DNA sequence: TTAGGTGCAAAACCTTTGCCATCCC
DNA sequence: GGGATGGCAAAGGTTTTGCACCTAA
């Protein structure tokens, strides 16, 4: 991966941001330094940097919202191969929310936990991934 | 909330789905029963049903992807009021992945955990929410 | 009767992509 | 020099919205 002025600036912005900026926020910040940069470049580089492990993409898991008929507390497992989502029984309870409240001082109302990996049928097919 | 043919069908589809359908998948399924239903109606109803607690929306947290300069394992806290995202130190380790592997038989590669609630500054302001 | 819901289509977003010029190595 | 990268603008996909008509209560 080549080093360009744009890429360096984008990386610097994301690294130094106290918040967790959206692509658009990164764009705004970088434009202060490189007014002519384009939004497309920001997207391209964020993607590349995330793939290279230089920054982390907070996953919206790459796809559109999904809905779940089960309103009980439970978690999800998303297959990275086929994209399907499976339910996983809760095993944390709300104790963990209290832990985070103590740690942050914020009012914690809940959490969601998503596992990712390869589901049984995709594991069989590829076998060696 | 009024009971309409469309709304009933949408609820039934989401409730009985084994998967976690996207809005579009719900649209497809409902159209088998009500060919004339519109995608807009599906979106509207999914949103209403989620607000009413009848179904669950798997959160993409209602906004665009965010990026994080910290590549260490950690979790997030999202303030439901201001939308800001804060880091939370990891307290689970990867043991939990092993638990889910045993439970599901799937290959678990990782997880992400997001807490939601009200952050300190928003809590101060409203005080009584 | 009438407030709320529907269908339709356009608009609003967010993100990706194609193309050509430009720049790093 | 040559391939990777950037700028620009158009396209793509998802979700929302305005409006006129319809329907459950």
pLDDT, tens digit (0-9, with 9 covering 90-100), for B3-47: 999 999 999 999 998 778 999 999 999 999 999 999 999 999 999
Residue A59: CB atoms within 10 A of its CB come to: 16
| Judgement on whether residues B12 and B55 belong to the same structural domain of the protein | yes
Question: Do residues A63 and A11 both lie within one domain?
Answer: yes
Residues B64 and B78 in one domain: no
> Any CB–CB contact under 8 A between A51 and chain B?
no
Q: Which residue, of B50, B68, B86, is where some domain finishes?
A: B68
- B92 has a pLDDT exceeding 90: no
Pick from A68, A85, A112: which residue ends a domain? Answer: A68
Q: Do A100 and B114 touch (CB under 8 A)?
A: no
To the nearest whole Å, the CA of B36 is away from the closest chain A CA by: 22
pLDDT by residue, tens only, chain A of 129 residues: 899 999 999 999 999 987 789 999 999 999 999 999 999 999 999 999 999 999 988 765 434 577 888 777 788 888 877 778 888 988 887 889 999 999 999 999 888 888 888 999 887 766 443
Nearest nucleotide to A39, CA against C1' atoms: D7
Rounded to the nearest angstrom, the minimum Cα separation between B56 and chain A is: 5
In angstroms, the CA B11 to CA B26 distance is: 9
Statement to judge: residues B57 and B22 lie in one domain: yes
A63 and A90 housed in the same domain: no
Q: How many Å from the CA of B36 to C1' of D22?
A: 14
The token pair at A96 is: 């963990």
Q: Which residue is nearest to nucleotide C4 (CA to C1')?
A: B2
A38 and A81 together in one domain: no
Structure tokens at A116: 């990712």
Å from B4 to nearest chain A CA? 18
> Structurally, how many domains does chain B consist of?
2
pLDDT on residue B129: 37
In this structure, the answer to whether residues A51 and A14 fall within a common structural domain is yes
Please, which residues have CB within 8 angstroms of residue A118's CB and are 6 or more apart in sequence? A79, A80, A81, A126, A129, B106, B107, B109
Query: Which CATH number do you get for residue A39?
Result: 1.10.10.10
Looking at the fold, whether B115 and B90 belong to one and the same domain comes out as yes
Q: Give the domain CATH number at B96.
A: 3.30.1490.190
The bridge status of strand B66-68 relative to strand A107-118 is unpaired
Residues of B in Cβ contact (< 8 Å) with A46: 67
Looking at the fold, whether B61 and B83 belong to one and the same domain comes out as: no
Does B41 lie in the same domain as B14?
yes
- Clarify whether residues B59 and B79 are in a common domain: no
Residue span of the structural domain in which A64 resides: 5-68
Structural domain ending residue among the three candidates A18, A33, A68: A68
Mean pLDDT of chain B: 86
Q: A109: closest CA among B40, B122, B91? A: B122
Contact B54, A71 (CB under 8 A): yes
Contacts of B42 in chain A (CB under 8 A): none
Question: A84 and A41 share a domain?
Answer: no
What's the pLDDT score for residue B90? Answer: 86
């Amino acid at each position: 991966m080549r080093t360009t002025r744009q890429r360096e600036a984008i990386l610097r912005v994301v690294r130094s941001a106290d918040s967790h900026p959206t692509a658009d926020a990164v764009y705004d910040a970088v434009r202060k330094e490189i007014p002519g940069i384009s939004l497309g470049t920001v997207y391209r580089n964020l993607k590349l940097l995330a793939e290279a492990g230089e920054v982390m993409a907070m996953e919206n898991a790459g796809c559109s919202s999904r809905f779940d008929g089960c309103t009980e507390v439970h978690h999800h497992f998303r297959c990275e191969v086929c994209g399907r989502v499976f339910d996983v029984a809760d095993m944390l309870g709300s104790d963990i929310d209290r832990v985070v409240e103590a740690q942050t001082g914020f009012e914690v109302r809940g959490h969601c936990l998503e596992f990712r990996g390869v589901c049984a049928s995709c594991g069989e097919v590829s076998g060696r991934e």
